[in-house]
Structure 1
């Protein structure tokens, strides 16, 4: 696993599994990005706002929004905080809608992946794929510093 391409000064981040429920990790991970003033888009199928930020209902809409709001971005990195079936579905949407060239990295939070999910991500050619049990809440700051964010 190489994390060097996950973070970038011109990157936009999407949090798939962001939630308005303050007790859940999807909320905490989304808030992690906000607290660091990183451009981040929450992805949730039904919530309209999380921490006063408008949500996108799916990854295609999040990517479209990222390109509209941050036209000089160098791509999208995605944090997944979803069950493996949902993670796999989102990756399949990326492939079906031909969005894979815009994805520069994925970070699967613990519990958001299985071997099938990792296989789909590798098939898409996404690098880096963070899937070693690292949680962005624990290791994100150290990785972002190493990436010269």
Structure 2
């Protein structure tokens, strides 16, 4: 179950959405999540280090740090992050973003099912992302099933 306050913050006005683990393979959740943002007419950036071409017509970043570094969207100045990677990759990417001092650009994080473990959540909590702060969504909440309702 998604806390309404966390969903409201995640979908705040002026947000740009990063999809960590976006995929060009239509059967993968990374593709489905990115495509969901496009269908909702929300600005999105795919992130995948193995992408060799556009994903859903969008140029991919090769890492969370590079996406945060090159981010420029005058109409959508803050970022919400959807994570669709395995927990070890999720941890590595978030840790690298924290180490680079770029993590502060991310205002909310939504972990899709299977993309987190206790280590990932502990890292996020240490960085100020938590259920209490209403800027962290996880515990099995899938944007594909809950996203439209969560947007309100």
Task: Give TM-score, length-normalised by structure 2.
Answer: 0.89
1:15 aligns with 2:19: yes
Shift of 1:72: 4.0
Q: Partner of 1:130 in structure 2? A: 137
Return structure 1 stretches of 4+ with deviation > 6 angstroms: none
Q: Partner of 2:28 in structure 1? A: 24
Q: 1:90-129 maps to which residues of 2 (within 5 A)? A: 90-126=93-129, 127-129=134-136
Quote the Cα distance in structure 2 between the aligned partners of 1:72 and 1:61. 20
Query: 3-state DSSP class of the match of 2:98?
Result: helix
Q: Partner of 2:65 in structure 1? A: 60
Aligned residues: 143
Correspondent of 1:89 among 87, 92, 105: 92
Whether the 8 Å contact between 1:77 and 1:104 is mirrored in structure 2 is yes
Shift of 1:128: 1.4
Unaligned 5+ residue runs, structure 1?
none
**Deviations, residues 21-47 of structure 1 (Å, cap 9, x unaligned):** 000100000000001111100000021
Shift of 1:74: 3.5
Query: 3-state DSSP class of the match of 2:26?
Result: coil
Quote the Cα distance in structure 2 between the aligned partners of 1:117 and 1:138. 23
Whether the 8 Å contact between 1:4 and 1:128 is mirrored in structure 2 is no
1:144 aligns with 2:148: no
